[in-house]
Structure 1
Amino acid sequence: MARRNSTKSKPSSVDPETQKLVRPDGLSVRRRRHDHGWSPRDLVTAIEMASFDASGLRRTLTPNLLKAIEEQSEAIPYDQLLLLADGLGCDPVDLIAEGEFSTRRAARSIN
């Protein structure tokens, strides 16, 4: 009796585009959070509520990740940037660091 190959690849439900890393503008994120009068934990809650309202899923970011984003402009997957923007009630493009998606070529240095 022949054995069936059980190593079939399953289609991935994760969109590879949403996993690409982007660098948010940490100061912009902090400014928007302060404009709402929120602590980092308040923003975590707002992100979770926005995610639940939009998808029925309770997804959020950790306070440690928010701190890294605000203080070091930590690169995050695009889908996390979408969560952050939903929590802050803004367009995700408004949170991306300047030059992150620049179409201009980098200047060449002459040594």
Structure 2
Amino acid sequence: MLLPLLILAQTSTPTEDLLMVLRPQLELQMTRECEKAVNSPDGSFLNLRSICSEISQPASVCLVEEISQQGSLAQVAREALEGSLGPASLGVASACIERLMQSAKPVWDQEFPLR
């Protein structure tokens, strides 16, 4: 999936348009990875599998927007092909974690008020 990204990144296709086409695949992969991470063989882990798809949607949108804003498509794709998290990937991930945490803050504050 990433090799076509590198090739298309060199074309005149706007980055965000290209990424929006690939976003459903990214979202599906993120859901699979989340489900693997929360899967417990003994079943004692909280059943978080159901929220994986809910989390992957805003996360994939954020990744598309951040990669587009930062202009880092080629760098992120190269790092992914190399199997490493480099500066571009970490920058995008950090920005998305911060954005997602800020958007969750009102719900978090309501569920866990400071006393």
Fold-level similarity (TM above 0.5)? no
Point out which structure has higher relative CO (alpha carbons under 8 A, 6+ apart).
Answer: 1
User: How does the TM-score come out when normalised to structure 2?
Assistant: 0.24
User: How does the TM-score come out when normalised to structure 1?
Assistant: 0.24
User: Of the two, which has the highest radius of gyration?
Assistant: 1
Structure with the largest fraction of helix? 2
